[in-house]
Structure 1
Amino acid sequence: MYKLLVSDLDETLVRADGSISPENAAAIKAVLARGIKFVPNTGRGFASVQKLLQAIGTYQQAGQYVISYNGGAVIENKDNQVLATGEMPYADAKQIFDLLADHPEVDIHVYTLNHLYIYNKRQDDLDYVASRGVEYIDMPDRDFTRFANKHIMKVIFMNPDITTRHAVAEEVKAALGDKVDLTYSSARYGEFNHHGVNKGSATLQLAERLGIKPDEIMAFGDNANDIPMLKVVGMPVSVSNGIDDVKQLAKYVTQANYETGVAEAIHHFILQDDK
C-alpha cells in the first residue's frame, strides 16, 4: 500500500498555464481522504506552490508538506515551517553565477530560501515564470555580495536552445566538479544544486521522518531533474510527455499527459475500487 505520493509540478501535474486539472485535483483529494500523503516535489520555491495547495486541500495544513528547490528545502505547510535545507555554499554559488554571467545569451536565477532573483532577464523566461505565478526580484548587476548573508538554495540558468544549454552547463560543471549536481528541466533550464541535494534525497529524508519505507512511495515526473526521485521510490511513474530517460526508468507510463496523467495513475494503483 502506498503511503506517500510525491509529484513534480511543471509538465507533470500542472497545465501550461500553471493550473491543475479538476481530474488531478479530485484524485489527489481522494487519496488524502484515505490518509495518504501527497507532496509536491518541485524545483520551484515553496511560495509559488501555495495556490496549488489550496486547490488540492493541503494549504496551511499541519502534517502536509512541500519539497522545494529540487530537494533544497523540506517545508511543512502549516506556517511554511522549514524542516530541512540543503543549501549551497556561498563560494560555490558565486563561482557558478560568475561563470554563467559571462554568457549574455542566458538569464540566471538565484534562489534563496524565501526569494528568487533574476539576472539578465529574457522575456521568454519571464513569460514562463509569470505563467507559474512565480514572483521575482530583479538583479540589476553582477554584485553577488548581496547574497553573502543569505541561504542560497540553488542557481539555475535559462536558454531554450538545447545545444547552448548543454554547452554552458557542462562548462560550469567542469569548473565546479563534484561540488555540485547538474540537472535539466522544462526544456529550458540547467540547474545546479549542492552535491547530494536532489528530489530523491529529500523524498527519502521526509519519508524517514514520517516512518514510511521507500517501497511505500509513488513518484510522478517528466524530466531529468525528476530522475533522482524516481530512482529511490517503489513506484516511479512517468506521464506520457516525459522524456525518454524518465519513461525508461518508470514502472508505469501513463496514457495521459500532465492534464490528467497523475489522476490516471492514482486511479490505476490506489482508487481502482472507487468506481
Structure 2
Amino acid sequence: MIQLILSDLDETLLNDDGSINPKNIDAIARFTENGGYFVPNTGRSYKSVFGTLETLGLNKKTQYVVSYNGGAIVALEPDGSEKVIAQHAMPIALARKIFRLGQIQADIDTHIYTLDKLFIYNISPSDKQYMSDRQVPYTAVEGDDLSFLANESPIMKVIFEHPDPAVRERIAASVTSEVGDEVLLTFSSNRYVEFNPKGVDKGVTGLELARILNIKREDTAALGDNLNDAAQIKAAGVGVAVANAKAEIKAIADVVLTTTNNEAAVADFIDHISGTVHD
C-alpha cells in the first residue's frame, strides 16, 4: 500500500497555467486524511510552493517538501516556521564555474538557487511570465559579478533557460566538458537545463525522506513527466509517468497513466491505482 507519494509539480500536478485541478485537491485530501504523505518533489525552492500547499490544504500540519531536484528536504509547520531536515549543497566555486561556462551567448537566462532564495540573471520575457504564473519569488541579478553569493545561504543548484533545445544542448556540452565529473545534468519543462552536485537527485533524496518517515521503499510512489524526474521514478517503489510525460520517462515507469497533468493525473493515480499496486 502506498504511504508516500512524491510528486513533481510543473506539468505533473499543476495544469499548464499553474493552477490545480479540483479533482487533484480532493484526491490528495483523501490520501492524506487516511495517513498518507503527499510530498512535492520539485526542482523549485520550497518557498515557491507555499501557495500550492495552501490550495491543497497541506499547511495544517507538518508538511515536507523535497526541493532543488533533491538539494534539500524542508519541514514546514502550520505556524509558518521552517526546518531544514537535510541539505546537499553545491560548492560556491563550482557554481561560479557552471555560471561562467553556461554563458554561451547573450540571451542566456540563468537561475542560481540558494537554500532560501532564487537569483535570476538576464531573465527572459517568457521566463518572467512563467515565474509570475506560478507565483515564484526571485531576485533579479543585474550583472555577472557573483561575489554577493559569499554572503548568502548555501547554493543548491544552477540552471539555464532558453527556448531552443539546440542551445540547451550546447549549454550542457559547455558545462560538462569542464566539470562533468562534478555535476548531475538534467533537463526540465522544455525550457531548462539544470545542474546539481554529483550524487544529488530527486530519487536519492526522496528515499532519504522515506527513511526519515520510516516508510519502506516499496510503499513509495513517484510521479513525474520530464527528464529531471527520471531518478525518482527509478528509485521509488512505484514509478509513475503522466500521459504527457516524455517518452524516456514512460519507458522507465512502472505505471503510465492515460491522463495528463491537465486531466488530474495525480487524482487518477490516487483513486484508481495507488491502493492496488501491490495486489
Q: Secondary structure at the match of 1:121?
A: coil
- Partners of 1:3 and 1:255 lie apart in 2 by 23
Tell me which residue corresponds to 1:136. Answer: 138
2-11 vs 104-113, which deviates more?
A: 104-113
Q: Secondary structure at the match of 2:200?
A: coil
- Partners of 2:230 and 2:102 lie apart in 1 by 24
Q: Where does structure 1 lack aligned partners over 5 or more consecutive residues?
A: none
Q: Secondary structure at the match of 1:215?
A: helix
Tell me which residue corresponds to 1:91. Answer: 93
Contact 1:222 1:246 survives alignment (8 Å): yes
Q: Secondary structure at the match of 1:51?
A: helix
TM-score, with structure 1 as normaliser = 0.96
Q: Where does structure 2 lack aligned partners over 5 or more consecutive residues?
A: none
Contact 2:102 2:174 survives alignment (8 Å): no
Tell me which residue corresponds to 2:183. Answer: 180
Deviation at 1:169, TM superposition (A): 1.1
| Matched ranges for 1:1-275 at <5 A | 1-59=1-59, 61-62=61-62, 64-78=63-77, 79-150=81-152, 151-259=154-262, 260-270=264-274
Deviation at 1:231, TM superposition (A): 0.5
Q: Secondary structure at the match of 1:17?
A: coil
Q: Secondary structure at the match of 1:108?
A: strand
User: RMSD of aligned C-alpha atoms?
Assistant: 1.2
- Partners of 2:174 and 2:97 lie apart in 1 by 12
TM-score, with structure 2 as normaliser = 0.94
Contact 2:104 2:171 survives alignment (8 Å): no
Q: Secondary structure at the match of 2:13?
A: coil
Would you say how many aligned residue pairs link Structure 1 and Structure 2?
271
Contact 1:183 1:192 survives alignment (8 Å): yes
- Partners of 2:103 and 2:140 lie apart in 1 by 15
**What percent identity do the matched residue pairs reach?**
42
Contact 1:203 1:229 survives alignment (8 Å): yes
Contact 1:200 1:229 survives alignment (8 Å): yes
